A and B are shown apart, each in its own frame.
Chain A
């Protein structure tokens, strides 16, 4: 069935450095790839998403890349700040009306 794999499970970076989280998906029909950030005690919140007709998208310090051929997509956070510490989830979906499958999450810690 559909599957999304996410790596690494934990990531610690020095404040100001960049963080990269990688995901792969199994269903080639997937065309929507959101990234969510979850802070302690809260539900996941969308931070950026990308659709299959685009290879890269950037929003300030956050960027996502998509390689449809390899079925890979990645989240890049530059100039990391303490408030970036959280759990990040990648996900994949086939259409606006279909289910969203999540990766296993990455716990990102920013060292001061």
Chain B
């Protein structure tokens, strides 16, 4: 398996634009997580899904952020409109959700909003 795949690896956008980050979890994994990493706040959990259903979105900063998981092999995190303070590295991770507990992380998307 190629692991968790995120795209794009880097994104530079202007303030006010819509940004969509994409994630393909490891096949067979039932849980998917979106994290945001900044120097100031570390690794923050934004939202997680079990079996494609959002379970906890309490970490989503505000209504400008939304996440979807239309099927077991794809998830998106959308920011609309983007702001400079959204600049961070966004990670997607997946785990089996049953038995095994290790979460595997993607390489991340470095987002810069100018």
Cα distance, A102 to B37, chains bound together (Å): 11
Question: Does A102 lie within 8 Å of B103, measured CB to CB?
Answer: no
Q: Are A93 and B101 in contact (CB under 8 A)?
A: yes
Q: How many cross-chain pairs have Cβ atoms below 8 Å apart between A and B?
A: 61
Decide if A99 is an interface residue (CB 8 Å cutoff): yes
Q: What is the interface size of chain B, counting residues whose CB is below 8 A from a CB of the partner?
A: 29
B101 surroundings in chain A (CB, below 8 A) = 32, 34, 49, 51, 93, 96
A107 to chain B, nearest CB (A): 11
Please measure, in the bound complex, the distance between the C-alpha atom of A1 and the C-alpha atom of B97, giving whole angstroms. 22
- The residues of A with any CB-CB pair to B shorter than 8 Å are 1, 32, 34, 36, 41-46, 49, 51, 89, 93, 96-97, 99-105
Chain B residues within 8 Å of A, Cβ to Cβ: 4, 30-31, 33, 35, 42-43, 45, 48, 50, 55-56, 58, 91, 93, 95-108
